Every structure is written in C-alpha cells, then in structure tokens.
C-alpha cells in the first residue's frame, strides 16, 4: 500500500458531479491524507453568447444547483468538504492552492476550446510544485483502450460501434473509501440561489416529461426504478420514440450530461438486470445509445473546433440564412408546422424534448427554414436540461448535412407526426387551442 502524501489533494468538479465511479475522487482519496473538493459557478457559463442566447438559462441552472446541493451532501458522507465559488476557476484556483497547501489538482479531462483555455490559464498561475491531473472520465469505452490516434476514428458510426463492441471492454466502476472526520474543514462558501445567479425560481411544469431533480441521488433512484422496479428497460426499444410521459425513455440524459451519473454505472446496472431478468433488444438498445454518446465525443476529439464551424466536419458550403424573425418563430412554436411547434413549446416551457422531437425540429430548422444550424445548436445549449457539448453539436451537424450522416437525410415532419403522434395526443398537449 502506497504512502499517502501529506499535502492536500483537491478535486475540481466539472461535468463529473458524482461520488460513484469518479476517477478524480478515487485518486485523490488514494493519494492524499487530506482531501477537499471545489466547484465553480463560473460567470462565463451565464453570459450571452455570440448568437444572443444565455449560455446556461434557467432550467439547466436550477438542475445544476440541485446537483451541487446533492453532491455536497454525498461528499460530506465521505467526510469531504465541498467549497463552492461564484468565480472563474482561473481567478481562484491558485489562491485556493496556497490557502490549503494543495499538492495535486484532480479533474475531468476536457478538450473543447473554452475548457482547454481555462486549463491552460490555471496551469500558468500555479507553482511548479502543484500537479495537475486530468483523466478522461465521461466515456463508456475509455479512450486509452479505443485509440491512441483519434484521427483514425471512423466517420461512420456503425463501423465505430462494431469495432468497440468487438475489441474494447467496459472498465469496472471506480470505488471510494470514506475518510476520517478529521478531513472535514470549516467553510463559509455557499451554493448560490437562482436569484443570486440572476433568475427567478423556475417551477416544474405540470406537463413535463422530465419532472425529476438534479443530482446523483435522483439519478440512481431513476436508474433503480427504470430497471428493477418498473422493468421498463425491457421495453425501451419499443417505446423510445414516444413523446408523452416520463417512461417512454430512460430520461438518464440530463444526469449523464452533467456527470451526476456515469455511462459505466448504467452499463453495469444493465448487465446486472440482464443476469436476473434476461437480455433482449431493448436492454441492448440502451447500451447502443450510450455508444452513440461516446461516438460524438470521439468525433469531437478527432475534429476539435471543426464541430463548431458552419461547414462542420465535412467543410460543406450551404446557403444558410440568419433571419431573426424566423428564428424567433421557431423558438416560440409559431412556424407553419404544428408538430414542430408542439415540440418547441415543450422545450421552451420545460427545458426538455424527446429525441424524436429534436431530430424533427432540428431538421426543420436547417433543411426547411435553411437557417444557420449553429443558431439552433446555441439555443439548445441555452435551454436543454441535458445539454452536452459533444452530443449537441454532433447531432446538429448530423441533421444539417455537415456531420456524420452518410445519407444527408431530411425529416418529413408531416409524415413523422402521422407516425409518432397519430392520435394527436402530443400536439393537443402543447397546442391546446389548435383544432385538428
């Protein structure tokens, strides 16, 4: 057993807001006799972006506050104190390291442009004695096992999926041990309120398909319910294109997006469920969707900033327009398409929308209205509870014809509505005054 370092290990939480299966947490506890944790409510996350949207609007902000509140409680159960600041990490981390005699910062490895800039700035302010350890901790299939050269990641999902399923094993979850109560410290830091971040408190909409709270505790409760209590997972493939209610899909995505639930935890719970109740296409299909999530992360690793450019990873040139009135009609659910409108109103009112809905409204935005797809992606970033930079931009590129869709398809929203909302139940739910 290795000797623990006397200096302090700090876990800098980002989009890994959990104690179960958290590599940074595990390493800090293993390597240090003193451990603290920190989360920054970075003001940059709440600013207006270049398209005029607040990067993190009210729904995701409330979910984040709930998540950090839960994280603080779960860390306290391990006798680890969570410090919270309404500051940019690059402005605070070096003083934190001085104050607590920090030897190593442990965090989740990021690779998109804003996160890299933050990392580099932090490193430039730290003394040479402080180590910075960043680990990939948001994948189902760990990058070290997938490829040493991300430029070789296939541009077609099916090729990627078949390769990883055949050659890469999913690692076991990380485990943690409880520290002594002596590890706890006094802190005057506090988790901000919605009001202190500039929002009025957001009420949960009565019609929402996602009425759940943020945080690891709620995530694990949902996992237990969807698998072992209701056994809905055995019917997932048949219901996943639903539009109404809490149980047509897993609803894991918001917790996955901020890392309060790990992909590996879901995977091993599925394996546990299959061992007890049997496997079928539906149990596999949840894993299939996790592989899609991984895939967009690998595409982001391969193409880097190209995923944010108008030509996408294909560098295609289309005639996009940016008419603000048309964009606003799409946002408000005031287009000529009732199915699109219903989905957009659901998103605006709840911060959530089904996968089927997202494909349709994004296709309509890019292929029917011919609007710059990056505007739609930026709006989704602002309001979606489950915004994930890689999946969001990967999916928007895909439907806009500048990404990983080899067929460059366009959704016929009328046919989609007839197929998936045959009885108009969904449209009536969100367009109450509309006659059919």
Annotated binding site for FAD: 236, 249-253, 386-388
Q: Three-state DSSP class for 340?
A: helix
Task: Give 213's DSSP letter.
Answer: P
Task: Give 33's DSSP letter.
Answer: E
Q: Mind giving me the DSSP string for 215-246?
A: SHHHHHHHHHIIIIIS-GGGGHHHHTT--SSS
Q: Which amino acids are annotated as binding site, given as ranges?
A: 236, 249-253, 386-388
d(CA 11, CA 107): 6
Main-chain dihedrals φ then ψ at residue 415, nearest 5 degrees: -65, -40
Q: What angle do CA 412, 242, 343 make, to 5 degrees?
A: 55
Contact 112, 303 (CB under 8 A): no
Q: Cα–Cα distances in Å, from 186 out to 29, 172, 177, 193, 356?
A: 19, 34, 21, 21, 48
**Beta-carbon contacts of residue 404 (< 8 Å; ≥ 6 apart):** 155, 156, 157, 295, 299, 313, 394, 397, 398
Q: Mind giving me the DSSP string for 74-126?
A: HHHTTT-EEEEESS-HHHHHHHHHHHTTEEEEEEE---SHHHHHHHHHHHHHS
- Measured from the Cβ of residue 130, the count of other Cβ atoms closer than 10 Å reads 20
The alpha carbon of residue 239 and the mean position of all alpha carbons in its chain are separated, in whole angstroms, by 22
**Beta-carbon contacts of residue 117 (< 8 Å; ≥ 6 apart):** none
**Beta-carbon contacts of residue 109 (< 8 Å; ≥ 6 apart):** 134, 135, 136, 137
- Per the structure block, which two tokens stand in for 181? 């109560």
Contact 137, 28 (CB under 8 A): no
């Amino acid at each position: 057993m290795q000797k623990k370092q006397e200096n302090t290990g700090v876990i800098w939480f980002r989009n890994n807001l959990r104690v179960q299966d958290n590599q940074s947490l595990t390493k800090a506890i293993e390597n240090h006799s003193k451990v603290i944790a920190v989360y920054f409510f970075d003001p940059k996350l709440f600013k207006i972006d270049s398209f005029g949207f607040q990067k993190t609007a009210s729904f995701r902000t409330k979910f984040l506050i709930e998540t950090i509140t839960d994280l603080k409680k779960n860390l306290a159960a391990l006798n680890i104190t969570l410090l919270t600041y309404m500051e940019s990490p690059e402005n605070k981390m070096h003083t934190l390291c001085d104050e607590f005699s920090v030897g190593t910062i442990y965090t989740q490895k990021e690779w998109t442009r804003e996160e890299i800039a933050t990392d580099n700035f932090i490193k430039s302010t730290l003394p040479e004695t402080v180590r910075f350890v960043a680990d990939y901790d948001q994948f189902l299939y760990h990058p070290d096992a997938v490829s040493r050269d991300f430029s070789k990641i296939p541009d077609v999902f099916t090729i990627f999926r078949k390769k990883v399923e055949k050659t890469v094993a999913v690692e076991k979850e990380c485990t943690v041990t409880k520290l002594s109560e002596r590890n706890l410290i006094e802190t005057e830091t506090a988790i901000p309120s919605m009001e202190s971040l500039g929002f009025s408190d957001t009420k949960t909409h009565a019609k929402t398909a996602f009425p759940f709270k943020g945080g690891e505790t709620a995530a694990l409760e949902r996992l237990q319910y969807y698998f072992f209590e209701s056994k809905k997972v055995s019917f997932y493939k048949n219901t996943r294109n639903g539009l109404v209610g809490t149980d047509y899909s897993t609803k894991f995505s918001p917790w996955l997006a901020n890392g309060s639930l790990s992909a590996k935890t879901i995977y091993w719970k599925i394996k546990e469920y299959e061992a007890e109740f049997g496997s079928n296409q539906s149990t596999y299909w949840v894993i299939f969707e996790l592989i899609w999530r991984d895939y967009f992360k690998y595409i982001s690793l391969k193409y880097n900033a190209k995923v944010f450019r108008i030509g996408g990873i294909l560098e295609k040139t289309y005639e996009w327009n940016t008419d603000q009135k048309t964009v606003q009609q799409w946002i408000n659910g005031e287009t000529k398409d009732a199915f699109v409108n219903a989905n957009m109103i659901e998103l605006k009112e709840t911060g959530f929308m089904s996968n089927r809905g997202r494909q349709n409204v994004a296709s309509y935005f890019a292929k029917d209205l011919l609007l710059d797809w990056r505007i739609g992606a930026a709006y989704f970033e602002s309001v979606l509870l489950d915004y994930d930079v890689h999946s969001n931009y990967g999916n928007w590129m895909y439907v806009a014809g500048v990404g990983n869709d080899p067929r460059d398809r366009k959704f016929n929203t009328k046919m989609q509505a007839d197929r998936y909302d045959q009885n108009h139940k969904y449209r009536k739910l969100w367009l109450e005054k509309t006659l059919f």
